[in-house]
Copies of this chain bind each other. A is one copy, B any other.
Amino acid sequence: MDNEAAIRELVADRTTAMRTGDAEAICRPYTSDAVVFSLAPPLVQPPDGNRDVAQMRAWFEEKGGSVWSEVRDLHVTVDGDLALCTSLESMGAPPSSPQPFTLWYRSTLGLRRLDGEWRIVHEHTSTPFHMDGSFRAATDLQP
């Protein structure tokens, strides 16, 4: 399998893990020194914050066990052992869940191949915010 195919598979596996509530699969690819900029504060996640399986499991529980996930407009650029992925992603929990929601956001992944395996060294997920003085996160946008 070539590099781009391997990376697209990693992204697809993450989507499956969201849909099935597989906390271990979500956490596994992050390196211990990954720089993670999440949808939620703080500006930068604490070290190993995204490798905390118990925390990820608790998050899934809050949402009813799993969430809907979809990836669109995935661009993959690879050179040597470094790769950059950009995409638009949606996430949601159905009205029947304890915390129903739906959201489109932007996703950037930085990957490095370490010991032959592609790992997440950087993740940046966000919504923009309205610059009309309200400072509301633009959680209502569609691609």
Contact check: which of B35, B40, B73, B104 meets A128 at CB < 8 Å?
A: B40
Given A79-B81, A80-B82: A40 and B126 interface contact (C-beta under 8 Å) = no
- A108:B137 contact, CB within 8 angstroms: no
Identical chains bound together, number: 2
Contacts of A105 in B (CB 8 A): 43
Question: Is A116 an interface residue when CB atoms closer than 8 A count as contact?
Answer: no
**1/0 contact string of A99-134 vs chain B (CB within 8 Å):** 000001110101010000000011010111111000
Contact check: which of B75, B81, B138 meets A35 at CB < 8 Å?
A: B75
Question: Is A37 an interface residue when CB atoms closer than 8 A count as contact?
Answer: yes
A128 CA to B129 CA, complexed, in Å: 9
- B41:A128 contact, CB within 8 angstroms: yes
- A41:B141 contact, CB within 8 angstroms: yes
- A129:B40 contact, CB within 8 angstroms: yes
Contacts of A43 in B (CB 8 A): 88, 104-106, 127-128, 138, 141, 143
